[in-house]
Amino acid sequence: MNWHLTLGTKPGHERKAFIEVDLPEDRLQLAVAGLGIATASAEHPHLEKYNLVEVLGHIPGPTVQCYYIYSAKLQSLKRIKLLADYLVEAFTGDYGTPVL
């Protein structure tokens, strides 16, 4: 999810990250320490805790596909249908209709 490293570069080129970490919490802590821009979802539970300021908000980020996979023999179970309905509602939000 380093889409911001390609902004303002020639197609096919990317800036080299100064530091790379896997955990979103660690990325936020590095940003708080003044070590750069952190990529985090708008729904991250600790954004308010760290009092970070959004940058590049005017530039749309990438769309991420999410898959809900289960065995075909479970398809008729009510709990599978309920979970699918919940996921569609949770992921649709303000972002439009999900692809099913």
Model confidence at 77, in pLDDT bands (50, 70, 90)? very high
Report helix, strand or coil for 95.
coil
Percent of the chain with pLDDT over 70: 91
Res 73: pLDDT: 92
pTM, two decimal places: 0.55
Alpha-carbon gap, residue 79 to 68, rounded angstroms: 13
- DSSP-derived letter for residue 99 is P
Highest mean pLDDT among 54-58, 62-66, 89-93 belongs to 54-58
Tell the residue number behind the tokens 């959004």, with chain if given.
54
- Whether the per-residue pLDDT at 33 is higher than 90: the answer is yes
Cα–Cα distance, 34 to 19 (Å, whole number): 12
Q: Which residues contact 74 (CB under 8 A, 6 or more apart)?
A: 80
Report yes or no: 6 and 13 within 8 Å, Cβ to Cβ: yes
* In the predicted structure, residue 59 carries a pLDDT above the cut 90: no
The whole-angstrom distance between residue 28's C-alpha and the CA centroid of its chain comes to 14
